[in-house]
Each structure stands twice: as C-alpha cells, then as structure tokens.
Chains A and B, each alone.
Chain A
C-alpha cells in the first residue's frame, strides 16, 4: 500500500528533527552549566557585603570580572541557539538569567545606589533588551524576577548593616525598596510565577520597615526626619 511509505517517511522525518533538537539541547545545557557556575561564584563573592563593609568595593570589582566571563558565555549561547527558538529552549537559562539580573542589579546598587534598568543589565550581559522575532534577548519577566530577588537580599542587608553599626544604609535601602514596591504595584501581573515571586516582596518590605522602626523609636536614625504627628 502506498500509504505506508508516506506515513513511514513522515515519522522518520519527525524523529530526525527530534534528534537534532536533542543535540541542540545538549549543547545549550553544557553552556548553561558553565555560565551557571560563574553565577554561583559571583553570588558567593557578593556574600561578603553582609559582614564586611570594607569588602564591598572589592567584591563589586570581582563580580564585574565574573560578569565579563558570563558575557562570553552568553555570546556562545546566542550562537548555539537557532534564531527562532528563544522560547523553545528558554527553560535552560531562565533561572540562571534571573540570577544574573539580581547579581548585576545588586552590584550596580552597591556601586551607585540606583536601580539598574533592563537595558543596562542586558548590556552587561552583552545581549539585546528588545524582544524580537529572532535572536537572543533579556526577557522582561526575568529582569523583574531579578529585581524581586534584589529586594530580598537588601532586606537581609538592612538587618546586617544595623548589626554592623551602620544606621544610614537601612534608610537608603528602605527608600529604594519602597520605590520598587510602588513600581511593582503598577504591573498587571497574571497569576504566574512572577506573581508568586512578587507575593514575597511584602515580607521583605515588612522586614525593612521593622528595622527602620526599631531605629526610629530608639532615636538611632541618622538624621531624624519629622515623624507624622497623630
């Protein structure tokens, strides 16, 4: 029967395409393993901010070096990826990219005290910030997820700064995270993973508020701002 031949070729074609896809996945997985390792290294390096004030600047420099390495990794990833298939394989680098967004945003905050934009982070990683039909880019959701991780880390830093005797930093963190909190409220989040991560933000905000509160009632705030009179 002639049908049989057509159907057979249909399946062999599909199988060979599947095999090709598996090979691409393997390549991508290997690159992601390397780049992910760098992100863990950078995370470790930046942990010093919680216990050593003087270590912050060297840590930022070291992190910057690691970002350079990551940038090379992302260049390799861009090359390995078939142009149309960013979202087909996204799961492989998603968590890692979110982590980088967090790390870069943290480094920039430590250096300058401002919020890194989507474009800035994409630039550090050497990838595009624009979502286009083809090619590799920094997904907006990954960027936002990174910012939420940043808030959690800063809430921890607020506590540890006080322990260290630095009463200025919690105020700065409070202002910064409040701004982010106000910003996140502008977003129309669906009931997805980003929304779940966003739900954690209120606990971070609360933690920071408590630190500020503790400082205020003990008169430890650096320059006491007029408290709203009831």
Chain B
C-alpha cells in the first residue's frame, strides 16, 4: 500500500482516472456475469426464500390485526349489557362471534403456518393472540363463571380440514393453530384490565355482587402473576396489572363506604361521574 505521500498522489490521479479504473472494475465484472451464472442462481433462490418469508409475515400481520379488531369488538359487546336479561342475549351473540373468529382468521393463521415453523412468525401474531385470549377468557368468565385454561383454548383451535379440490382422495387432515402459552398468559394479564372495567361498570348498574366477584378474580390473577419468575414480557405487564388491582380495589372500597349510606338506586347517577375518568385513562389498550 502507498504511504501518505503516495496516497496524496494517487488521490489526485484518481479524480481524473476514476471512471476508467475504479468503477470500470465493477462494470467489467457486472457485464461479464452471464445471466445463468451459478452464483446468481444461488442468489435468485435465496431471494425467493426471503420474499416468501416476508410475504407470509405480512399476511400474518394482517390476519393478526383482523383477530385483534374482532376480539376488541367482542369485548366491547360483553361490556355493553346493563340488565340481566340483555346479558343473556349478549352472551349468545358473543359466543357466536367468537366461534366465527376461531373458524375465520385464526384458522387462516393456522393454515398459513401449516408448513412453516410457528415461532418464526411469533411476533407477527402475538398481538392478535393476546387480544383473542383476553376476549376468550372474559367470555368464559361471564358465561361459565370460570377462566378457560390454556389446554382448553388450544383444543378449540384444532380443525379438521377437507380439500374439496380432490374429491376422489380422502383428504381430511387435522390442523392446529399453535397458540404459544406465553401469549395466553399475556392475554390473561390484559384480562385484569377488562375485569376492572367490568367491576366499575357493575357499580354503575347497581350490581355490587358482580363487582366484588370481579375484584376477587383480579386479585387472584395478580397474586398468580406475582409468583411467576423468568418471563421478561410478563414482568413488563405486571405494573399495568398492579394499577388495575389498585383501581378495582378503590372502586370496591368506595362502593362499601358510600354504598352503605346510600340506597342502591341512588348510586346510579353518582357513580359514573366519580369513576369514568380512570376508565378512560386506563392504558391497557396501548396498541392503538
């Protein structure tokens, strides 16, 4: 290599000669490459693989968004009923829509991932799965008074697929949309936010029993999360969960203190004004 002086000299020359030498090396090679060179073939193959992967990722992100939106709507629906009678209808509708969700976008996710490693695209679908779990567990809690467990949810995501194209061959096969357990636990952490909301709503509708129950479930969940070690993602959610516990406990406290001196019907107008702001400030829906 040239010394400092040489460098300077070369630098001068380079400006005048650059187009003929430095760049010409690149041009020469580029033009001398035959279109069917083995190296280019390798890269064309690699490009195909990378593109496939990226396209699949994009499709999954889209599906995941569909799942998120529908789950949010189901949750909203579950919050809407005021009276006991209307809640029956709501539950039926929610169950119906949940089934459609499982057989629609979530099934498509399973199909998309049928032949590829599921964890490769874990990040594309985790948001949708978490929201789905939030809706699914809330539904199970309201319909059956218990939280659906992870194996039970996973079982619901098993499908039997029939290919109609080849009628002559028995093409029935089973398909599983693999739900990571961590997504289940993260979704369950979000459930505390929904329960908090529900508890507060139930104060405003004068159903104090339901409020206490929801509060108790939130407490149990929080206690459970405190005992879990070794998951970074869960630790991040824990502060939100703690905030939810605080809010719901304050609501129950207020109900006890003020509910004791006021007849239940009078609580109706008073409670929302008191408790609406914290609902809106809740940050558990940070995605949008």
Contact = CB atoms under 8 A, between A and B. Distances in A.
A140 B49 contact: yes
A51 to B, nearest CB: 16
Contacts of A216: 21
Interface string B144-160: 01110110000000000
Interface string A185-200: 0111110000000000
Interface string B37-58: 1111011111101110110000
B29 A182 contact: yes
Nearest to A189: B50
B210 to A, nearest CB: 13
Interface in B9-58: 10, 13-14, 17, 19-22, 24-30, 33, 37-40, 42-47, 49-51, 53-54
A141 B47 CA distance: 10
Given A10-B147, A180-B39, A213 B22 contact: yes
B42 A87 contact: no
A60 B117 CA distance: 35
Contact of A115 (B42, B119, B216): B42
B115 A132 contact: yes
A90 B225 CA distance: 27
Q: Which of A209, A210, A213 counts the most chain B CB atoms within 10 A? A: A213
Contacts of B26: 178, 181, 205, 209
A209 B172 CA distance: 59
B26 to A, nearest CB: 6
> What 6 A-B pairs have minimum CB-CB distances, sorted nearest first?
A183-B43, A178-B29, A87-B119, A11-B224, A87-B120, A88-B119
Given A15-B227, A88-B119, 15 more contacts: A2-B145, A3-B147, A6-B147, A6-B149, A7-B147, A7-B224, A8-B224, A9-B149, A13-B150, A84-B178, A133-B118, A140-B50, A182-B39, A184-B43, A217-B13
Interface of B: 1-2, 10, 13-14, 17, 19-22, 24-30, 33, 37-40, 42-47, 49-51, 53-54, 113-120, 122, 145-147, 149-150, 178, 181, 185, 188, 216-217, 220-221, 224-225, 227-231
